[in-house]
Amino acid sequence: METPELLAAKSRELLNDQLASVDGNNAKAGTITAISALFIPISFSVFDKIATTQFWVLIFFIPIILNLSGIYFLMMAMRPKKLFHGMGFSEIHQHKDEEPEQIYLFEIGINRDSYNDNKIPISKQNNFIKYGLYFIYSSAIVLTLIFFINLITVKPKNMSDNNQNTSTSSGNNSNQTSGGNNASTGRQIPSTNSGQRSVIEKGGNPKGDILKK
């Protein structure tokens, strides 16, 4: 293989690798976007555990905003972009009568220029992916920190309040129980009427009883 032909094949290979990297970035951005979209419903599933005050509600939206920003940059990375892919068909028709060496040299030049012109949109795509990953990782870290800080600061206070309420209600129940027991054990002698009592006659006059008979 002659040198121009070898260099033409090499330039073609480099250009194909460059275009393949764009497809790889698109697939990577799409996968991360799909996973990040699940972050929002998962975040709201723990919202009830975190949102105890208005302050924590406002803090809770910080990771949500970071995650949405990351998804935005990933979507920008997947936008269609204009890329050059070597020699066009019109150039093939124009160079059909030239010598092979001239055709190889022309292909080397056009592949080189295509490669250099593609650097700008590919660099933008890489930056979008980098920013997207940065915001998504930041949102996950911030949500984790918020959850643990809320767990450490708010939950013990709620537990102590619940324990205090439990002890207070237990004391009230014990007082009510003891009062009920005192009321049940206290003995009271009821009042009665004459109809509820038996009647006997003592010390009567026997003679009077005989005369009555």
pLDDT by residue (tens digit) across 124-154? Answer: 999 999 999 999 999 989 888 887 887 787 6
pLDDT the model gives residue 88: 77
- Contact by Cβ (8 Å): 8, 109: no
Q: Is residue 128 part of a domain?
A: yes
> Is residue 183 situated within a structural domain?
no
> Domains in the chain: how many in total?
1
- Residue 2 belongs to some domain of the structure: no
Specify if 192 maps to a domain. no
pLDDT tens, 11-26?
Answer: 889 999 999 999 999 9
- What is the spatial distance between Cα 102 and Cα 100, in angstroms, rounded to a whole number? 5
Parent domain of 132: 20-93+119-162
Q: What is the DSSP letter of 144?
A: H
Q: Give domain status of residue 59, yes or no.
A: yes
Which residues, given as ranges, of the chain have pLDDT below 50? 181-183, 194, 196-204, 206, 208-213
107: in domain: no
> Cβ(114)–Cβ(15) under 8 Å?
yes
> For position 196, what pLDDT does the model report?
44
pLDDT value, residue 22: 92
| 53 close to 5: Cβ distance less than 8 angstroms | no
Position 98 in a domain: no
What are the angstrom distances between the C-alpha of 134 and each of 19, 87, 90, 130, 145?
Answer: 24, 38, 44, 6, 16
What was the pLDDT predicted at 74?
94
| Pair 133, 70: CB distance under 8 Å | yes
Q: Nearest 5°: CA angle at 89, between 87 and 93?
A: 105
Residue 69 domain-assigned (yes or no): yes
